[in-house]
Structure 1
Amino acid sequence: MSFNNLDTLYRQVIMDHYKNPRNKGVLEDGSLTIDMNNPTCGDRIRLTLKVNDGIVNDAKFEGEGCSISMSSASMMTQAIKGKHIDDAIKLSKVFSEMMQGKEIQDDDLDLGDIEALQGVSKFPARIKCATLAWKAMEKGLNEDRL
């Protein structure tokens, strides 16, 4: 597949998650709630997580922001459901490395739709948009461990 076709495909995946977000909403009854914002561009997110016995059983988000921040939140909530806290945090670290333009070395790791965001690394001003939901997830899971 040519670079232009791949770029178009990635844009379509990002726009699909933006227009049809997965896991949009708020979890109630004892779930973790993390509010974060990106003051440089105005993106904001409220992430709610339900964690039992070290497993992320459910994840939802709501917020306002650009297509990159909202689609990244949608992709992230899909990716961490059913994962152990350690695996979710590892995935977040891999995502952060991808945003820094680093090559992903873990062949066992299937990023799925998340790969569509790899082009963001070429636009430093947009990296904070893409990582906002991931940083919220890491903050919530790390606080839950305490």
Structure 2
Amino acid sequence: MSFKNLDQLYRQVIMDHYKNPRNKGQIDSNDKLTIDMNNPTCGDRIQLHLEVKDNVIKDAKFTGEGCSISLSSASMMTEAVKGLSVDKAMHMSEIFSDMIQGKEFDEEDLDLGDIQALQGVSKFPARIKCATLAWKAMEKGIREDQSHS
């Protein structure tokens, strides 16, 4: 597949997650973590809801507003981390961070699925914060949850 076709496919994946977000909403559980994050540079705001039991992310949802990169990344992230152990989700976040910054990352380590569509954001440094907002919210929530345990 040519680079142009791959780029077009990635754009379609991003727009699909933006127009048809997965896991949009709130979690109805007393055991949920709620993390509010924003990107003052561009106005993206997200509220991430995580249900973590026995060190596994049982559910992940989000609400918020922002650009297509920010909201599609939140949609992809919530899909990817559901069912993962906290350690594996944090590791995935590290790999995502490396990928989005244009650093080398081990593609064999974890299947990133649709998340790889965001790889091109690395060419636009001003958009990196948009793409990482939901991921940073997840990291913050997990760290805070672990410090209370």
TM-score (norm 2): 0.96
Q: Deviations over 1:74-130 (max 9, x none)?
A: 000000000000000000010000011012225131100000000000000000000
CA distance in 2 between counterparts of 1:122 and 1:57 reads 33
The share of aligned pairs that are identical, in percent, is 73
Q: Secondary structure at the match of 1:109?
A: coil
CA distance in 2 between counterparts of 1:25 and 1:103 reads 34
Q: Partner of 2:39 in structure 1?
A: 38
CA distance in 1 between counterparts of 2:2 and 2:60 reads 35
The gaps in structure 1 that reach 5 residues or longer are: none
Q: How does 1:70-81 map to 2 (within 5 A)?
A: 70-81=71-82
Q: Decide whether the 8 Å contact of 2:95 with 2:106 is kept in 1.
A: no
Q: Deviations over 1:4-44 (max 9, x none)?
A: 00000000000000000000001132200000000000000
Find runs of 4+ consecutive structure 1 residues off by over 3 angstroms.
none
Kindly tell me: are residues 106 and 12 of structure 1, through their superposed partners in 2, closer, same or farther at Cα, counting changes over 3 Å? Answer: closer
Q: Secondary structure at the match of 1:37?
A: strand
Q: Secondary structure at the match of 1:23?
A: coil
Quote the RMSD (CA, aligned, Å).
0.7
Corresponding pairs, count: 146
Q: Partner of 2:17 in structure 1?
A: 17
Q: Partner of 2:100 in structure 1?
A: 99
Q: Partner of 1:3 in structure 2?
A: 3
Q: Deviations over 1:33-85 (max 9, x none)?
A: 00000000000000000000000000000100000000000000000000000
Q: Partner of 1:109 in structure 2?
A: 110
- Are 1:84 and 2:98 counterparts? no
TM-score (norm 1): 0.98
Residue identity in the other structure for 1:67: S
CA positional deviation for 1:141 = 0.6
CA distance in 1 between counterparts of 2:133 and 2:106 reads 23
